[in-house]
Structure 1
Amino acid sequence: MRDGTIGRAPPIDWRRRAPYALRERGSNRRPASGRVKRRGPVSDYFELHTWWSTILAAVTWSIIFGALVVIPFRRSPEAAQGWLLLFFFQPFAALVLFFFVGNARHPKWRQERIKSVPSLVKRASLEIPDAATDVASELEPKSRTAARLVTALGQLPCVAGNTVSLDADYDRVVDRIAGDIENARHHVHVMFYILHDDEAGNRMLSAMERAVRRGVKCRLLIDAVGSANDRNAIIRRLAGTGVEVHLILPLRFWNRATRADLRNHRKIVVVDGRIGWIGSQNMHRMEYEPNTFYREVMARVTGPVVLELQSVFIGDWYLETDEDLSSHDIMPPPADTEGEVRAQVLPSGPDHPDSRIDTLFTDLIHSATERVVLTTPYFIPNEALSLALRTAVAKGVQVTLFVTSTTKSVFIDQAQRSYYDELLSSGVELMLYRERFLHAKHLSIDADIAVIGSANMDRRSFELNSEVTLIVYDAGVVTQLRRIENDYRSKSRRLTAEEWAGRGFFTQLAENAMRLVSPLL
């Protein structure tokens, strides 16, 4: 048509086609689409999410790369592997956990005090008569080498003139300890990881209270975490009685902070410097938990080796009180009527940083020529110990491992069982104790070396816990231990390689998963 409207496009309004950014600045131009593009909450969320995702990824990888630098430093390959795996899958949780329990060292204030402990223990041990200490050279070559290693690790020598009596009767041990305290004349020193004010604990505490009334000096150390259930009740009970009691490493997160995972796991009783007790048994009733009855082994000792137990107690008392108990009064010369057993004590743990109990276990197993019998409730070995057991079998040594059928932890059960396959395939005789919870911890080598103490076969005892171990070089004591081991055998079931191979796939998967983090348990 003449007016020219036919065939023409409608006029363009350029203000509606301007970019959104120009419009926001007040421009008269409009988006070309004819619509105003508005920012909404959804687009703001995605932009913010992208920004925080970038930051989170950067922090996550910084933590992982930082762990790669820090974790392997001064750690066993097994422990480093466990930590790095945890950092890779759960970096933030691993960082928090590592802050609290990642370093097997005490805070600085305690490290400074720990520096004095070896010299304190060494000085106290000098009270042992010279005639009793120069005996390592009299031992057989294998025992002589072991004795020199123990002395190098713990600074306490092999001493002669001792008696050692093993006792695996739980309630009788409680009665015998209480009886020895009843007969005390000068002092009683007691240290337990777990002490309860129940039937068993009451027998011992009552004996200490009566001893104080006779003029006997009684000192008691209990671990703040191990004895957490009854520690306050025990402190209230002993207040005003004259029994001096102190908690070991009470938890603090401020001034003079302490670590929750570094514990004193020792069990020591010293009466008048002449009678000592050492082993696996804590001071609580046999049924520690409902339907869980404990099986233990304790050693009652007399002679110069008691003064070595006394030296360890002196060091632990100093760590908690800053008081040096060393004196001739509590280190009396042994009686002439003691026995003929040669023995020595090895303290280990973060308070003795140069002493590693797993070093002794591994060396003793390598030295065996005929038989090794190992008993422990928790078996999570490091590679050196596992290799020593397999090597012993390859040399023709009969190796038997007694463990309890089930522990108190599903995680530890799975981690422990992950080592069964390689042990069984190598020829280790694996016996599952069924009657009670087998909490005893001991090792016998051939017919002449027995080891009894508080240490389990796991990283916690090797690196984190303060432990104490008695090493005895005597065929008679090994015979006592063999009788106890034979009783275990009558109440255990042998696990065969064929039976173990038949377990389900998901069971193996759980074991393998826990195997990876077993160094952290």
Structure 2
Amino acid sequence: MPFDLHAGYWLFFLDWLIRLAALAWIPVRSPPAAARSWLLLVGFVPLLGLPLYLVLGHPWLARQRRERQALASAVIRERQDSLREWRWLPPGGEGDASADIPRLAERLGDFMPTHGNGIELLDDYDASLATLLADIDGAREEVHLLYYLMFDDRVGAAIADALKRAASRGVRCRLLLDAVGAKPGLRAFARPLREAGVDVRAMLAGGLAWRSLSRMDLRNHRKLAVIDRRVGYVGSQNLAEPEFVPGYPNRELVARVMGPAVRQMAALFASDWLIETGERLTADGAYTGNGAAPAQLLPGGPAYPFQNARNVVVALIQHARRRVVLTTPYFVPDDVTLGALHLAALSGVQVQLVLSQSNNQNLTRWAQRSYYEELLEAGVRIALYRPHFLHAKHLSVDEDIALIGSINLDIRSFALNAEVGLLCYDRAVVERLRDIEAGYLADSEILELASWRARPRWRRSVEGISRLADSLI
């Protein structure tokens, strides 16, 4: 009995020591919103919260990875200096979005805006895949694929077969896959692809290797393809069949690009290859114009010193004068993004948020619903797309700026995942994107403030509790 009492005192002391240490340590190491969530968890269950925070508490990367990213950024900036004839000079003056956004994106993500790009938006899942496979089959020099998901299914098999055919023609093929997201594809296809001459690598390896490389749950969420440095793909579509949610096949959006922006995609692939393998690839070569659209690549991720994606998205919202449409499957914004949406709507800008009615992440679904009421009160319009799981991720501002890529409007995408987006400064591209957005809205449930307020109280409670985990999702 005395021993049990003695052990109880020590457990009580340890509980409070952890709580007090967390109060002194976590706010210094984490942003306020994340610190709130972690302190709440540690306060309720100290012995569970402490190890979770030590593993998942902040988005750190190994020094080697940060140094390689800095090297890649320096090389990208240096090589762009000799390509000034391809730099796009926005027609607007100081204070105009067409001038401010490209400057901000270049300072954050290294890539300059270029003119002479041809951009085709592909929103049919099977047609997009067929076009990618045709381009791989037409490759003569090089195929580089960088994807978050690759499944052991008909789509994964079709991509693997196309890479084998390309390698048999003497084409240099490299495949970069996220170690966690693409685990099924790596297990099924890595060995036969390597035997066929394809260089296959896993990014951000899990298991016992993670601790020496990065925080455990950091992921490379990019979807990028570069063929012969002539044509590139960027968007939301993975190398997998569309049935992410049973009964709700994914709807995606991909930009097929030709022109100088493809060289930027090649440089981003080379950057990720360097960070993962230490091997330097060349992304040089003469730029070729294939259209009239100005465009600029925007990479983001924890290897950069700032939250590139979040900062550019917020700037785009702030610069909207008439209308901004944001499409995302996951909506768990940080305070800065939420504030920008509020201010834009209250300033008279038509702010349209398009989300998926179905969702494959239950905690995220409940958390994002907690934001609807305050957004509707501010005048933000919310549409829930019904026919499919809307996995597309894009944004349009007024009539002349679009952002298309892998970026979700959530804290994970902004702070933890490696992402990529393509900024397009072209009215024709925005007009095509508006047509796609109009198709979403025609098949959506439009939320009304009065009816949303009438939802049961238990749902409000679940939403509020889920929102407390916004920084942990």
Structure 1's consecutive aligned runs of 4 or more residues displaced over 6 angstroms after TM superposition are none
2:263 maps to what in 1?
Answer: 307
1:212 maps to what in 2?
Answer: 167
Contact 1:162-1:342 within 8 A present in 2 as well: yes
Q: Deviations over 1:425-477 (max 9, x none)?
A: 11111000110101000000011100001011111101100001111111110
Contact 1:451-1:471 within 8 A present in 2 as well: yes
In 2, the alpha carbon distance for the partners of 1:428 and 1:288 equals 28
Contact 1:71-1:84 within 8 A present in 2 as well: yes
In 2, the alpha carbon distance for the partners of 1:186 and 1:126 equals 26
Runs of 5+ consecutive residues of structure 2 not aligned to the other structure = none
Structure number with larger C-alpha Rg: 1
* Deviation for aligned residue 1:109: 4.0
1:494 maps to what in 2?
Answer: 446
The answer to whether the aligner puts 1:446 opposite 2:377 as a matched pair is no
1:146 maps to what in 2?
Answer: 101
Secondary structure of 1:470 counterpart: strand
2:275 maps to what in 1?
Answer: 319
* Deviation for aligned residue 1:114: 3.5
Secondary structure of 1:292 counterpart: coil
Q: Could you tell me the percent identity over the aligned residues?
A: 39
Alignment partner for residue 18 of structure 2, among 63, 70, 75?
63
Secondary structure of 2:173 counterpart: strand
Q: Deviations over 1:239-280 (max 9, x none)?
A: 310111100011142584543311100000001111000001
* Deviation for aligned residue 1:62: 1.4
Secondary structure of 2:298 counterpart: strand
Alignment partner for residue 132 of structure 1, among 60, 81, 86?
86
* Deviation for aligned residue 1:64: 1.2
Q: Deviations over 1:70-115 (max 9, x none)?
A: 2112532211111111111111111111121112012344334334
Matches within 5 A, 1:3-152: 45=1, 47-123=2-78, 125=80, 129-133=83-87, 135-139=88-92, 141-152=96-107
Runs of 5+ consecutive residues of structure 1 not aligned to the other structure = 1-44
Contact 2:298-2:422 within 8 A present in 1 as well: yes
Contact 1:278-1:470 within 8 A present in 2 as well: yes
In 2, the alpha carbon distance for the partners of 1:487 and 1:183 equals 32
The answer to whether the aligner puts 1:334 opposite 2:287 as a matched pair is yes
Secondary structure of 2:469 counterpart: helix
* Deviation for aligned residue 1:202: 2.1
Contact 2:176-2:201 within 8 A present in 1 as well: yes
The answer to whether the aligner puts 1:294 opposite 2:250 as a matched pair is yes
Distance 1:124 1:213, change over 3 A: farther
* Deviation for aligned residue 1:157: 0.6
Alignment partner for residue 366 of structure 1, among 303, 310, 318?
318
* Deviation for aligned residue 1:53: 2.1
In 1, the alpha carbon distance for the partners of 2:366 and 2:169 equals 51
1:384 maps to what in 2?
Answer: 336
In 2, the alpha carbon distance for the partners of 1:357 and 1:257 equals 23
The answer to whether the aligner puts 1:183 opposite 2:125 as a matched pair is no
Contact 2:330-2:355 within 8 A present in 1 as well: yes
In 2, the alpha carbon distance for the partners of 1:453 and 1:83 equals 30
Return the TM-score normalized by structure 2: 0.96
Secondary structure of 2:296 counterpart: strand
1:20 maps to what in 2?
Answer: none
Secondary structure of 2:239 counterpart: coil
CA RMSD between the two structures: 1.6
Q: Deviations over 1:150-197 (max 9, x none)?
A: 011111111111111111000111000011111111111100000123
Give the total of aligned pairs. Answer: 470
